[in-house]
Amino acid sequence: MRLKDILDIYHKELDALYGKNEVDSFFDLVIEHYLNIKRIHIVLEPEYVISKVEEQPIFEVLSKLKLEQPIQYILGETEFFGLPFKVNQHTLIPRPETEELVAWILNSVASSAKKKPLKIIDIGTGSGCIAIALSKHLKTSSVFALDVSEATIEVAKQNAILNNVEVEFLHGDILKIGESQLDVESKYDLIVSNPPYVRHLEKIEIQSNVLDNEPHIALFVDDDNPLQFYRAICEFAQDNLKENGVLYFEINEYLGAEMVELLEHFGFKQIELKQDLYGKQRMLKGVK
């Protein structure tokens, strides 16, 4: 079958669900993943034909997309901050706003990191995207990453190897840090976290392909205690963040004022609330 005809089938089957531009994006990812060719190939060779064997995985992806499974899980990979990452049902799919958080950190610490290597910990690392991106760009710094899920850590370790970086992965629950085996030999210069922060009352805003596929343990918090992870990390920072060390969070866009109040309660200074590209309050930092 001509590749162009398969693209037409994708649009016929999926446009009502995702929109034309998104379907184009899906198809680009699929043919690059399975055929190692770019969309321009269809433009240059509109009669380009692929075999039945080559067709099979492409139509299998189509079937899964019709069930609203995320393309990243279907292909088992995604990109974050220009780097390749493996993802599966144990890990959240990295988001663009998290890339903005990493960019903010790098813009803030790059010059000081050149003078003196930093010790950094990413709490709730998931796929390892934050820790690995920071390690890739802050080559002399020591980066640690903590997660409660051993299955998630295994994926993150694969991603560190894939991106040729050194990250020390730690298994532990930040809510029960006293009971974990987290050994802090020296204090950290920087703590960063993108913990669960979506309240159950906000589920109505979550797209079904996220709600039905991504791990809820990494997404949701109780409505009556939405800052529990942030509070626990602030408590951890009291003993484990150096004086003048910096704490960075990705946050719930609706809880910016509450987060500022939380950091003030723990004595942080130079608190800064930052908007993402869409004007939502999604990032926060404070200095100990």
Q: Residue 269 has what pLDDT?
A: 97
Q: Are residues 21 and 161 in the same domain?
A: no
CA dihedral 132, 137, 140, 144 (to 10 degrees): -20
How far are the Cα atoms of 129, 143, 190, 243, 272 from residue 287, in angstroms, in the given order? 23, 19, 9, 8, 9
For residue 193, give Cα distances in angstroms to 65, 102, 181, 260: 31, 11, 19, 15
For the chain, which residues score pLDDT lower than 70? 178-185
Answer for the pair 164, 158: CB distance below 8 angstroms, yes or no.
no
Terminal CA-to-CA distance of the chain, rounded, Å? 62
Domain range enclosing 120: 90-287
Give the per-residue pLDDT at 179. 46
What confidence tens digit (pLDDT) does each residue in 107-147 have?
Answer: 999 777 777 889 999 999 999 999 999 999 999 999 999 99
Closest of 43, 14, 44, 45 to residue 27, by C-alpha: 14
**Pairing mode, if any, of strands 83-86 and 77-80?**
antiparallel
Look up residue 76 and give its DSSP letter.
T
Residue 236 lies in a domain: yes
Q: Are residues 149 and 49 in the same domain?
A: no
- The pLDDT score that the predictor gives to residue 183 is 54
Same domain, 121 and 30: no
pTM for the model stands at: 0.90
Number of structural domains found in the chain:
2
Domain identity same for 53 and 148: no
| Domain presence at residue 227 | yes
How many Å apart are CA 51 and CA 49, to the nearest integer? 7
